[in-house]
Amino acid sequence: MNKLDRRKAVVLGGTSGIGLASARALADAGTTVITASRRDGGSSIDDGIRREQVDVRDRAALAALFARHAPIDILINAATGGERATGPFAQMDLDGFRGSFDKLWGYVNSVRLALEHMSEDGCIVLVSGFPARKCPPGMSAIASVGGAVEAFVRAVAPEIAPRRINAVSPGIIDTPMFTQTGPERAAVMEKATGSFVIKRPGTAQEVADGVMFLVGNAFVTGTVVDVDGGALLP
């Protein structure tokens, strides 16, 4: 990790939750950090982190972002790409199911377009999720997307070497993705994590710690690091 102060990182989905925590961790390590989100209002600099606006589904805008900040050493993509469909599969809106895969297309876009501007020893970290390998009822779309993300990481890693690509797979994480507040939020979190070994939601910082491991360990590629509170265990 002692060489991160000479590196440049682009963090997509980096203005809230896991992406923001990862961006701050990289900045604290001395990395030059650019974050981008489709909901950000435009270019700004805050706490030493440059913030821009981009939709990961917009290939032209994404390519321009990478070209503008080249060369890039680190790419973190925590963007959801859009709305995520939940609910019983038998009643699932099929357009919603298909739309959930905007996360995967955003990841594919970002990896493909960033490679043209990435240093030879660069690294990429994507975000999966525990439903990819242990799907709770009503999360078939999210599980399918997560499984595709993890398969993508394994498939691409040999092709892009010596650049590295990995994923971090969170459990239930206390982020703005959960919109409830107060006692209702606490009840949702308690129910969601009741079957986990660690019976609480994780924090964005705990997932960012996993991201930083993958960034800093040059002997890891094509793998998934679980930061899930034991969600995958029986």
What's the pLDDT score for residue 28? Answer: 94
Is 171 inside any structural domain? yes
pLDDT over threshold 80, residue 47: no
Is 16 inside any structural domain? yes
16: domain CATH number is 3.40.50.720
What's the pLDDT score for residue 177? Answer: 78
Which token pair is 44?
Answer: 């700004």
What's the pLDDT score for residue 2? Answer: 58
Q: What mean pLDDT do residues 155-174 have?
A: 97
pLDDT band, very low/low/confident/very high, at 181 (cuts 50, 70, 90)? confident
pLDDT over threshold 60, residue 53: yes
Beta bridge partners of 74: 9, 123
Q: What mean pLDDT do residues 66-88 have?
A: 95
Strand-strand pairing, 44-46 and 49-53: antiparallel
What's the pLDDT score for residue 81? Answer: 87
Is 233 inside any structural domain? no
What's the pLDDT score for residue 42? Answer: 61
What's the pLDDT score for residue 176? Answer: 80
Number of domains observed in the structure of the chain: 1
pLDDT band, very low/low/confident/very high, at 141 (cuts 50, 70, 90)? very high
Which token pair is 71?
Answer: 């060369």
- Between CA 107 and CA 167, with CA 41 as vertex, the angle to 5 degrees is 20
pLDDT over threshold 90, residue 10: yes
pLDDT over threshold 60, residue 1: no
Predicted TM-score (pTM) of the model is: 0.94
pLDDT digit string (tens) for 83-126? 889 999 999 999 999 999 999 999 999 999 999 999 999 999 99
pLDDT band, very low/low/confident/very high, at 82 (cuts 50, 70, 90)? confident
State the CB neighbour count (10 A cutoff) for residue 97: 19
Is 184 inside any structural domain? yes
pLDDT band, very low/low/confident/very high, at 220 (cuts 50, 70, 90)? very high
The most distant pair of C-alpha atoms in the chain lies apart, rounded to whole Å, by 51
Q: Any idea which of 13-27, 44-58, 76-90 has the lowest mean pLDDT?
A: 44-58
pLDDT over threshold 70, residue 41: no
pLDDT over threshold 90, residue 13: yes
Length of the chain: 234
Is 232 inside any structural domain? no
DSSP 1: -
Beta bridge partners of 124: 75, 165
Range of the domain at 213: 4-227
> Taking a C-beta distance cutoff of 8 angstroms, is the pair 41, 105 a contact?
no
- Between CA 119 and CA 150, with CA 61 as vertex, the angle to 5 degrees is 60
Is 26 inside any structural domain? yes
**Which single residue is written with the structure tokens 């797979």?**
169
Is 211 inside any structural domain? yes
Q: What mean pLDDT do residues 221-229 have?
A: 98
Is 222 inside any structural domain? yes
